[in-house]
Amino acid sequence: MAKKYFTVTLTLPDGTRRYYRGNTKKEAEAKRDKDRALMNQGVNIADNSTFQEIAEQWYYLFKEDSLHKKSKDILLGTLKRHVYPVLGAKKVRDVKPADVFQLMKSVSGKSNSLQRKVLQSVKAIFAFAVDNDLITRSPVPSTVKAGGSESDEVEALTDAQCVALLDAVRGTRAYLLVELLLYTGLRRGEALGLMWRDIDFTGAEMEVSRSIVFPDGNQAGEINADMKTANAKRIIPIVPQLLADLKAEMAKSESLYVFSMADGRYLSKSSLRKLWKIVTDRFVLEDPIHPHQLRHTCITRWIENGLDLKEVQYLAGHATAAITMNIYAHYRRAQMRENTASRMALTQLKPAPQAENLG
* pLDDT cut 70: percent of the chain above it: 91
Considering the domain architecture, whether residues 206 and 233 belong to the same structural domain is answered as yes
How far the first Cα of the chain sits from its last, in Å, is 122
Confidence of residue 70 (pLDDT cuts 50, 70, 90): confident
Domain, as residue range, for 299: 159-341
Average pLDDT of the chain, as a whole number? 87
Considering the domain architecture, whether residues 76 and 202 belong to the same structural domain is answered as no
Which region holds residue 241: left if phi is over 0, alpha if psi is between -120 and 50, else beta? alpha
pLDDT score recorded for residue 29:
85
Considering the domain architecture, whether residues 114 and 34 belong to the same structural domain is answered as no
Q: Which residue blocks in the chain are alpha helix, DSSP H? A: 25-40, 51-62, 69-78, 97-106, 112-131, 159-169, 175-184, 188-192, 240-252, 269-282, 291-304, 309-316, 321-346
Considering the domain architecture, whether residues 114 and 170 belong to the same structural domain is answered as no
pLDDT score recorded for residue 15:
78
pTM, entire model: 0.65
| Segment among 5-14, 192-201, 332-341 with least mean pLDDT | 332-341
Considering the domain architecture, whether residues 25 and 68 belong to the same structural domain is answered as no
* pLDDT cut 90: percent of the chain above it: 54
Confidence of residue 355 (pLDDT cuts 50, 70, 90): low
The answer to the question of residue 206 being in a domain is: yes
Considering the domain architecture, whether residues 34 and 57 belong to the same structural domain is answered as no
Angle, helix 69-78 to helix 112-131, in steps of 10 degrees: 90
Tens digit of pLDDT for each residue in 100-114?
999 999 999 888 888
Considering the domain architecture, whether residues 117 and 33 belong to the same structural domain is answered as no
Which region holds residue 204: left if phi is over 0, alpha if psi is between -120 and 50, else beta? left
pLDDT score recorded for residue 11:
83
Domain count, the chain: 3
Which region holds residue 148: left if phi is over 0, alpha if psi is between -120 and 50, else beta? left
The answer to the question of residue 354 being in a domain is: no
The answer to the question of residue 282 being in a domain is: yes
The answer to the question of residue 139 being in a domain is: no
Burial of 313: CB neighbours in 10 Å, binned 0-12, 13-18, 19+:
buried
pLDDT score recorded for residue 2:
59
Query: What are the distances in angstroms from CA 162 to CA 21, 156, 306, 339?
Result: 74, 10, 19, 22
Q: How many helices (H) and strands (E) does the chain have?
A: 13, 7
CATH assignment of the domain containing 176: 1.10.443.10
Confidence of residue 354 (pLDDT cuts 50, 70, 90): low
Confidence of residue 316 (pLDDT cuts 50, 70, 90): very high
Tens digit of pLDDT for each residue in 318-343?
988 888 887 777 666 666 776 777 77
Residue 150 pLDDT > 60 = no
Considering the domain architecture, whether residues 29 and 55 belong to the same structural domain is answered as no
Considering the domain architecture, whether residues 299 and 337 belong to the same structural domain is answered as yes
Residue 30 pLDDT > 90 = no
